[in-house]
Amino acid sequence: MTIQFDAAFDNRNFKSAFGLVVWGERGRLMAKKTVLYRNVQSPFAAEALAGLQVIQLGCEMDCPLVTVIGDSRTIIKKCQEMKRDKSVTGAIINDIHSKMTRFEDLRFQFIHRTENIFAHKIAEEALKKEEETYLIKGRGGSPKGWWRKDLD
């Protein structure tokens, strides 16, 4: 299973929204989720919190093999390195590391923003509407052109 993530950040109100997109075998959409957070101090903290949400979602879906994909090179790199992080996002990264033992294989991979557009768009839309969603196996609507592959 592959889970893509992105965060949208409102620096005037210190709010953030995360977009999570779960892809199964052969690129089939399995779920999408948006989560809202308040009192987020920085875009880096927002991306790290989004990464933590991915780990929690992977645990909820009980999938032993997960590839986590995001467009924040810094956060992906910190998640890949299994050393104690003393940065501003350190507590969040350390929490991610502590949950990694729940998976047989958990990998983190960086992709460019242009390849992460679906997660980015649903995060932006959630922040704009201040609305959380959790849709499983493609049920529910999304604007045309957001799907990586056509749904059956």
In CATH, 2-136 is 3.40.640.10: no
Q: What is the pLDDT of residues 52-92, one digit of tens each?
A: 999 999 999 998 999 999 999 999 999 999 888 788 788 99
pLDDT of residue 69: 97
Domain boundaries, the chain: 2-136
Note whether 27 and 148 are within 8 A (CB): yes
Residue type, 148: R
Question: 2 or 143: whose pLDDT is higher?
Answer: 2
- Give the tens place of pLDDT for each residue, 13-34: 999 999 999 999 888 999 999 9
> pTM here?
0.84
pLDDT in tens, 101-135: 999 999 999 999 999 999 999 999 999 999 999 98
Q: What is the biggest distance separating any 2 CA atoms in the chain, rounded to whole angstroms? A: 46
Eight-class DSSP state of 57: H
Q: In this structure, what is the dihedral angle of CA atoms 94, 97, 98, 103, given to the nearest 10 degrees?
A: 160
